[in-house]
Structure 1
Amino acid sequence: MSGAPQATVVARDLRKHFAAPDGSHLDALAGISLSVRAGQLTALVGPDGAGKTTFLRMVAGLLPADGGSLQVLGLDVAAQPQQVQDRIGYMPQRFGLYEDLSVQENLDLYADLHGVAPARRQQRFERLLRMTDLGAFKQRPAGKLSGGMKQKLGLACTLVRSPDLLLLDEPSVGVDPLSRRELWKIIPQLVQEEQLSVLVSTAYMDEAEHCEQIFVLHQGQLLAEGDPAGLAAKAQGLTWSVRPSDDLQPRDLQASLIDDGKHVLDAVPRAGGVRFILQPSANIAQLSAQLQGLQPSQRPAELEDAFMMLLRAREQASAAVVSPAPQPASAGKEGPVIVVRDLVRRFGDFTAVASTSFQVERGEIFGLLGPNGAGKTTTFRMLCGLLPASSGHLEVAGLNLRTARAQARGRIGYVSQKFALYGNLTVRENLEFFGGAYGLAGATLRQRVADALQRFALQGAARSAELPAGYKQRLAMAVGLLHAPEILFLDEPTSGIDPLARRAFWRTITGLAQQGVTIIITTHFMEEAEYCDRIAIQDAGQLLALGTPDQVRAQAGGDGIDMNAAFIAIVEQGRAQRAAGHDKAVA
């Protein structure tokens, strides 16, 4: 790549708008000017609707500009889109693998599509398979790979022709921490070994910290740019941490702090304590009531602190804190609301869940965690009554799912990972339809719909398919809560949404738990495990850990480590033990 330009992407007053349902124009990019340096790893960060994907699609020559100029690799994208596409690799959020084809056949197909010469393929394939650790799976169908392996195969297919610029649109959405760590070993390696320029959009601030250059976008505008240390310095002197007493849940202390918009800009549970950011105009002494006598300590500012400061300054009311749903009538009952004993699920000769046992108390937030392919989704679907168990006892809301599955479903709410509502209906029409399916009618249904629209800050006339990801998630939550269920099942509900939306979501969940609703949640954001009363970690169908976040951290071997590190340690310990047991059995 000798002679590469000093700037690989140059945008000047770049504009893009889309027609809104009411006939108005939505500014996806409102005059962006930026320059992406060549041979570096550069991040685009920002909340839902910031314009990140639009910008990447324009750089890839897939969307024309409505104003301004855009040069990529020294080429005018408007005049030479094909020449640009011949020199870049672009991996969108939903990369198109052919699931019936093997890993090797997918690589062959993309090499054919990109015109890679046969003489160059073998060496390139060997390098990509080695880099992604997929060499042992060349003959496995893509559809039978885990989520993390699919992402790595998608990246390998994008790189079959050795591009000058690689565009990655949130490459780690929906993958577990181990797969995310592996992916982020590969990306900097590509920059270093191939002198590749990489432009990546991400919702993870720890991923953006790997980058040399970061652009913060918001509603189509550029809020800030710089390196991680320079951006983090914007929050220096305002960042604190506090550890609650044994009788106070970190999430309850966090809720108390985050509800104080006057003095606290942001708060989040982390490593058994609560990290928070003061408003620039506030001082720590003004928080004595919220801290309840606890002694906070200052901590170094991080990139996420600066990110939250920038967003809060621009978006004071957008991350609406949703008031709790009506308390279910049965919330006063004693005893566990979910009982699982020796639960097993087999698919032919494959055991997806192996003899799992646990119970969940009423009003508890219970996290079900595990790598892609660990069996947690299978467990989750059995708990919801969507999949029968092969054996074992499963009781939900006091009902045996073997004999009363339909009755149990009427007492639970469910929010799936993928948007599962009707995109061609409006927000109000979806609420009315699903409210009717739950048995609501007449004045009761109208009142519940009106309450949901207000509580979740939704516009009833908006078409559901056109909502940003964060608002789709709000609508799915509103639908799941319409009938005031005793138990709410949330399957990776925050996948792909930004930290600002995640804060608002979890403030809502905390309120629901305080009202007596039992929450069962799966997530790949390990920071979200800090909100849970207890968590279970599964891998290969087996239960590896069960307990409070502090107990799980202790099992991982470290007090005060964050949940991401604890999760990785426990899964790796479990895999090492299984490997040792397998070797012993073979011997």
Structure 2
Amino acid sequence: MTNCQPASTSPALEAQGIVKQFIRPGQSSPVTALSGVSLTVRTGSLTAIIGPDGAGKTTFMRLVCGLLKSDAGSLSVLGMDVASHPQAVQDHIGYMPQEFGLYEDLSVQENLDLYANLHAVPQAVRQERFKKLLDLTGLSPFTKRMAGKLSGGMKQKLGLACTLVSMPPLLLLDEPTVGVDPLSRRELWQILDTLSASGSLTILVATAYLEEAEHCHDVYILHKGHILAQGAPDTLCHYAQGRCYVVRPPENVPPRLIQAALIDETEAVADAVPEGGAVRFSLTPQASLKDLALPGLTVTAVPARLEDSFMSLLRQQEPSLPSHYSRPDMTAAKRVETGRKIIEVRDIVRRFGDFIAVNHTSFSVYEGEIFGLLGPNGAGKSTTFRMLCGLLPVSSGQISVAGVNLRTARAQARAHIGYVAQKFSLYTTLSVEENLRFFGSAYGLRGRRLDQRIEAVIEEFDLSGFRHMPAGSLPGGYKQRLSMAAALLHEPPILFLDEPTSGIDPLARRLFWRQITDLSAKGTTIIVTTHFMEEAEYCDRIMIQDRGQLIAIGTPSAIRKQGGNSPTMNDAFIHIVESGRHHQEVSS
């Protein structure tokens, strides 16, 4: 956490009673995105806005930039009224949206030159400024590389450098680390901490990562357009203080089963999540440990953290959660290296010209297993994932899926697969039901069977209230549910999930993983990629790749042990990747 304190001058940003409404396709009445929002960003501070998907974070950012106009309230940025002087505000701020506009066919240096031209940066100061930004972001060795050839983390750092090229006094960052691996995320926040420590820059960031918000001076929790709470991260912890615990499952019981049992206790449990081989959970304000059935398990009280308070506040707003899942079987042993191998990978290689993206990799996945593919941006995991799905042919080696050779019978093998892409890939203008009907037909479902499966997945993923809404108008969490429903219509034995929770809030992530636990218990094999390292704790086994090589594979506990007995999967991941790179550099 940064130690500097913001300067006690007039606020860099002050919002009073901001209201913003939208008319969405398929809806006759307006939707209120922001309802009477008031907040202050102190000059020189690092301030975070956190909240669930659809809370209004991006809408607020766009209002601050003058890209939208509020329906009521006042908004002052750097002493200027945004409604009256939107262009003047835009001239004095830096804004990095979720999809920052890098030019991928231009080099790193050419992108910096372009943004310097757009902001009329004087030629006399450009070289010194470029050098400072390139050194700060670690991009100095890559000035000639095309932006399209950069890893995801490097693209984000280049986007930040381009945003800062005009040296604005106020920097706005909308979800800057979504889809970025832990190493790159840590590096980006080291940059933000450095910028904040200078005291000359005010930063407002919207983030889905609660540990990132702990870096900030001030935090605002936004939900359905309302501010639920505000304050320093340490003071916000009081909303869950005295109600947080850790419980360790018995041997051979996956933590996700304990987590599922706890999260189903909707009256007593505010949150539950696997962590370090145990399960961390918090109680609702009216509950006590006596309300839980945890026979023979040791429960230890722990101090509250920001995420505990965040989840507690959300649960008070959303007390009714889906509860139609199968009761977890606590006697079930982990499905690790038991039963039938449903996926077999032997010595696969994937080349793109002279570049080797995946280099002689072998592993197996077992029926009913949740198997995680992890790695830094550009490590080769997405390439491996696409080869396993049959979306990309191998250059050499063999892949067998459900007993079918993926190289010689790709269409037959893909009939056994359900696939959820990282980016929403359904038809945005079709309704929820129309999408399901289309994809069901594509999977060969017809007549009564198709109708039955559509009704089943609508109920399973709680989509009944959105049946006739255009898919493009759904909140992010519900888009993800629809993608899952479409992928499971034909009841495939294997489900591939590519960064399935990227960009959705923690509450939606908890519910998503509750669904995955249920699917796994019913025998579905799950292959998942994720940049949320804590989500790896839900897996039976994890494989970590870097620079095309398999560098670790095993159970979460084995991975944490290999990662220097790290307490968290995030620390273990960083340790393993950095150690692997150091060994590779020494060997070469």
- TM-score in terms of structure 1 length: 0.95
Contact 2:266/2:319, CA 8 A, preserved across alignment: no
Equivalent in 345, 353, 357 of residue 352 of structure 1: 357
Match of 1:328 in 2: none
Inter-partner Cα distance in structure 2 for 1:191 and 1:64: 29
Post-superposition shift, 1:5?
Answer: 4.5
Inter-partner Cα distance in structure 2 for 1:405 and 1:11: 56
Post-superposition shift, 1:322?
Answer: 6.6
SS for the counterpart of 1:435 is helix
SS for the counterpart of 1:274 is strand
Equivalent in 570, 575, 582 of residue 576 of structure 2: 570
Post-superposition shift, 1:516?
Answer: 0.0
Inter-partner Cα distance in structure 1 for 2:378 and 2:339: 35
Contact 2:104/2:147, CA 8 A, preserved across alignment: yes
Match of 2:299 in 1: 296
Inter-partner Cα distance in structure 2 for 1:536 and 1:473: 24
Contact 1:321/1:507, CA 8 A, preserved across alignment: no
Match of 2:19 in 1: 15
Distance 1:67 1:564, change over 3 A: same
Contact 1:5/1:74, CA 8 A, preserved across alignment: no
Q: After superposition, what is the alpha-carbon deviation per residue over 1:120-156, rounded to whole angstroms, capped at 9, x for unaligned? A: 1111100000000000000000000000000000000
Post-superposition shift, 1:346?
Answer: 1.2
Q: After superposition, what is the alpha-carbon deviation per residue over 1:325-353, rounded to whole angstroms, capped at 9, x for unaligned? A: xxxxxx9x951101111111111211111
Inter-partner Cα distance in structure 2 for 1:494 and 1:292: 32
Post-superposition shift, 1:286?
Answer: 2.6
Q: After superposition, what is the alpha-carbon deviation per residue over 1:416-447, rounded to whole angstroms, capped at 9, x for unaligned? A: 00111111111111100000000001011111
Inter-partner Cα distance in structure 2 for 1:138 and 1:571: 25
Inter-partner Cα distance in structure 2 for 1:322 and 1:337: 28
Inter-partner Cα distance in structure 1 for 2:206 and 2:453: 38
SS for the counterpart of 2:483 is helix
Q: After superposition, what is the alpha-carbon deviation per residue over 1:451-506, rounded to whole angstroms, capped at 9, x for unaligned? A: 22222122111111111111111110000000000000000010011100000000
Residue 242, structure 1, aligned to residue 242, structure 2: no
Contact 2:15/2:76, CA 8 A, preserved across alignment: yes
Match of 1:54 in 2: 59
Inter-partner Cα distance in structure 2 for 1:323 and 1:174: 29
Residue 462, structure 1, aligned to residue 479, structure 2: no
SS for the counterpart of 1:153 is helix
Contact 2:153/2:185, CA 8 A, preserved across alignment: yes
Q: After superposition, what is the alpha-carbon deviation per residue over 1:84-135, rounded to whole angstroms, capped at 9, x for unaligned? A: 1111000000000000000000000000001101011111100000000000
Match of 1:581 in 2: 587
Stretches of structure 1 lacking an aligned partner (at least 5 in a row):
325-330, 583-587
SS for the counterpart of 2:450 is helix
Contact 1:41/1:212, CA 8 A, preserved across alignment: yes
Residue 476, structure 1, aligned to residue 483, structure 2: yes
Contact 2:7/2:43, CA 8 A, preserved across alignment: no
Inter-partner Cα distance in structure 1 for 2:17 and 2:9: 20
1:356 alignment partner AA: T
Match of 2:504 in 1: 497
SS for the counterpart of 1:86 is helix
2:582 alignment partner AA: A
Inter-partner Cα distance in structure 1 for 2:197 and 2:128: 19
Residue 381, structure 1, aligned to residue 366, structure 2: no
Inter-partner Cα distance in structure 1 for 2:131 and 2:44: 23
Inter-partner Cα distance in structure 1 for 2:130 and 2:200: 18
Inter-partner Cα distance in structure 2 for 1:37 and 1:95: 25
Inter-partner Cα distance in structure 1 for 2:478 and 2:432: 10
The correspondence of residues 178-327 of structure 1 with structure 2, limited to 5 A, is: 178-193=183-198, 195-287=200-292, 289=293, 291-317=294-320, 320=322, 323=325
SS for the counterpart of 1:237 is coil
Contact 2:7/2:42, CA 8 A, preserved across alignment: no
Inter-partner Cα distance in structure 1 for 2:269 and 2:185: 31
Inter-partner Cα distance in structure 1 for 2:352 and 2:91: 44
Residue 523, structure 1, aligned to residue 523, structure 2: no
Post-superposition shift, 1:247?
Answer: 2.2
Inter-partner Cα distance in structure 2 for 1:509 and 1:564: 21
Inter-partner Cα distance in structure 1 for 2:16 and 2:355: 55
1:185 alignment partner AA: Q
Inter-partner Cα distance in structure 1 for 2:148 and 2:210: 30
The correspondence of residues 20-99 of structure 1 with structure 2, limited to 5 A, is: 20=24, 21-99=26-104
Contact 1:370/1:376, CA 8 A, preserved across alignment: yes
Contact 1:5/1:73, CA 8 A, preserved across alignment: no
Match of 2:330 in 1: none
Inter-partner Cα distance in structure 2 for 1:73 and 1:489: 47
Contact 1:412/1:486, CA 8 A, preserved across alignment: yes
SS for the counterpart of 1:434 is helix
Inter-partner Cα distance in structure 2 for 1:283 and 1:342: 53
Q: Percent sequence identity over matched residues? A: 61
Match of 1:585 in 2: none
2:530 alignment partner AA: T
Post-superposition shift, 1:547?
Answer: 0.3
1:129 alignment partner AA: L
Inter-partner Cα distance in structure 1 for 2:322 and 2:552: 34
Contact 2:341/2:366, CA 8 A, preserved across alignment: yes
SS for the counterpart of 1:312 is helix
SS for the counterpart of 2:198 is helix
Inter-partner Cα distance in structure 1 for 2:212 and 2:324: 29
1:222 alignment partner AA: I
Post-superposition shift, 1:9?
Answer: 1.0
Inter-partner Cα distance in structure 1 for 2:164 and 2:266: 46
Stretches of structure 2 lacking an aligned partner (at least 5 in a row):
1-5, 327-334
1:65 alignment partner AA: S
Inter-partner Cα distance in structure 2 for 1:271 and 1:4: 41
Inter-partner Cα distance in structure 2 for 1:169 and 1:17: 20
Contact 1:321/1:504, CA 8 A, preserved across alignment: no
SS for the counterpart of 1:99 is coil
1:99 alignment partner AA: E
SS for the counterpart of 2:453 is helix
Inter-partner Cα distance in structure 2 for 1:72 and 1:5: 14
Residue 166, structure 1, aligned to residue 181, structure 2: no
Inter-partner Cα distance in structure 2 for 1:74 and 1:126: 31
Post-superposition shift, 1:323?
Answer: 4.1
Match of 2:514 in 1: 507
Of the structure 1 ranges 210-219 and 463-472, higher mean CA displacement relative to structure 2 is found in 463-472
1:302 alignment partner AA: R
Of the structure 1 ranges 522-531 and 423-432, higher mean CA displacement relative to structure 2 is found in 423-432
Q: After superposition, what is the alpha-carbon deviation per residue over 1:197-225, rounded to whole angstroms, capped at 9, x for unaligned? A: 00000000000000000000000011000
Equivalent in 558, 561, 564 of residue 554 of structure 1: 561
SS for the counterpart of 1:316 is coil
Contact 2:271/2:281, CA 8 A, preserved across alignment: yes
Contact 2:47/2:203, CA 8 A, preserved across alignment: yes
Post-superposition shift, 1:320?
Answer: 3.7
Residue 539, structure 1, aligned to residue 546, structure 2: yes
SS for the counterpart of 2:184 is helix
Match of 1:337 in 2: 342
Q: After superposition, what is the alpha-carbon deviation per residue over 1:559-585, rounded to whole angstroms, capped at 9, x for unaligned? A: 5x1000000000001100111111xxx
Equivalenced residues, count: 570
Inter-partner Cα distance in structure 1 for 2:495 and 2:55: 30
